[in-house]
Chain A
Amino acid sequence: MVLKESEAIVLRTYPLREADLLVTLFTRAEGKVDGVARSAKKSRRRFGGALEPLTYVRAHYEDRERRELARLDSCEVLESPLASEVTYARAVALAHVAELLDELLPDREPNDAVFRLALAVLSGLRGPDLWLPITYLELWMTRLMGYLPELSECMTCGRTLNGSRAFYHALADGLVCIDDKRLASSEISAESRVLAARMLRAPLESFAGAPWPEAQAADLRKFLIQTLQRHIEKKLVTAGMLEKGGF
């Protein structure tokens, strides 16, 4: 058995037996890996705060023959969410990042683009603004998972939507024009579609500095979450909490 080393982001931990923790890591080298951290609950000596969700670590682990779970040997903290103040809003946003990565990524499939995206978003969430990094994450995850439809043309008739009204429906893919919209459809504004197109061309840092209130691109986020939820066939718990707000 070879001890492997990889940069990783801790996604979730679950108690296992009396003193162990079952840890879901998003590793750069191998994608999502589940491992057991022995005695991590009882003794903080070996892992310290390294197993807190959304901690960016250098993980050492080994796969065991005929076992699905890796054995987590040690984790060195590279960046911790506890290094800056954890407000309720930031806690919900961090949990949203963890939930999206955990639900959307397949096991043991490396994805460097998603890894770089996650690091950029975690870095963005160290600032006071949470809606910009969250919108950027949802948009890019939808695209990188292959679920993002064409935003500039009607799915039904193919007419261009640039400059005209566009609608989406919770049970259907893509955007449609006003003539093809179904009953109980929601509208996504032209500004949000322009913003989405810009976000798909530029890094997250290039949007920093400008104020980003909760209302900005709220329709785009709703569309993206509905798209993701339809594909994974389950509700995202943290999306509900973000929508409820109250921060």
Chain B
Amino acid sequence: MSRFAEPMVRLIDELKKLPGIGGKTAQRLAFHILRTNDDDAEALAAAVRDVKANLRLCSICNNITDIDPCVYCISATRNQRLVCVVEEPTNIAAIEKTQHFNGVYHVLHGSISPLHGIGPEQLRISNLLRRVDDGQVDEVILATNPTVEGEATATYLSGQLRRAGLRVTRIAMGIPVGSDIEYADEITMLKSIEGRREL
């Protein structure tokens, strides 16, 4: 016999499916939801329903959005000819935080990962190539992660994007701001020397 009533067991089981949530945390969250007032519990349920019902991918850049095209792709103040390619929609927030990038995005929804059987054909590349072929783009910035998989993706894309008049750039790699050169590992140091710029 279960220690809890059946609806509670069901809620705990559902919460346990979330990443980073184990049995104990799921139990704590479930009891918190039980103790919270009806409006808050209903708002949580509605938010979950809303996310599933109303969010989709932007038909231009593959970002997750509730309107299609997304806010970046229809913005009149953004430079639509400068496209930053990222692996995941969450990467956009990191770039937006800088408040220095005024272009638009393209989300691949992953990177080349041979160990997981993910090749270029599993990534969302075709609409990026279409944007470039339609002459809508002057520069593509490849902002994939500085990992083996991210590098392989960037190298593959740079080959696919080779067009006359199109500039393809890669984000810089190197020493994090505020850190100490003494503690930098060899490969980070190598990349920062390779990517040095003239002052």
Contact = CB atoms under 8 A, between A and B. Distances in A.
B4 to A, nearest CB: 25
Please classify the interface of chain B as helix (H, G, I), strand (E, B), loop, or mixed, using the class held by over half of its residues: helix
Interface string A71-83: 0000011001111
Interface of B: 20, 112-117, 119-120, 146-149, 151-152, 155-156, 176, 179, 183-188, 190-191
B168 to A, nearest CB: 15
Given A83-B190, A244-B119, A48 B185 contact: yes
Contact of B187 (A12, A77, A85): A77
Given A237-B115, A237-B117, A238-B115, A91 B148 contact: yes
25 contacts: A47-B185, A48-B187, A48-B188, A52-B147, A55-B187, A76-B185, A81-B148, A82-B151, A83-B187, A83-B190, A85-B151, A86-B148, A86-B152, A88-B152, A88-B155, A88-B156, A90-B152, A94-B114, A94-B148, A237-B114, A237-B115, A237-B117, A240-B117, A241-B114, A246-B119
A117 to B, nearest CB: 20
Contacts of B155: 85-88
Please classify the interface of chain A as helix (H, G, I), strand (E, B), loop, or mixed, using the class held by over half of its residues: mixed
Interface of A: 12, 17-18, 44-45, 47-50, 52-55, 76-77, 80-83, 85-88, 90-92, 94-96, 98-99, 237-238, 240-241, 244, 246
B114 A91 contact: yes
Contacts of A17: 20
A88 B112 CA distance: 8
A201 to B, nearest CB: 31
A95 B113 CA distance: 8
B78 to A, nearest CB: 31
B185 A49 contact: yes
A17 B25 CA distance: 12
Contacts of A12: 115
Contacts of A54: 148
A67 B67 CA distance: 50
Residue among B113, B115, B120, B183 with the highest chain A CB neighbour number at 10 A: B115
Nearest to A15: B19
Contacts of A99: 115
A49 B115 contact: no
A95 B118 CA distance: 11
Given A49-B187, A92-B114, A241 B119 contact: yes
Contact of B115 (A52, A53, A76, A85): A53
Contacts of A96: 114
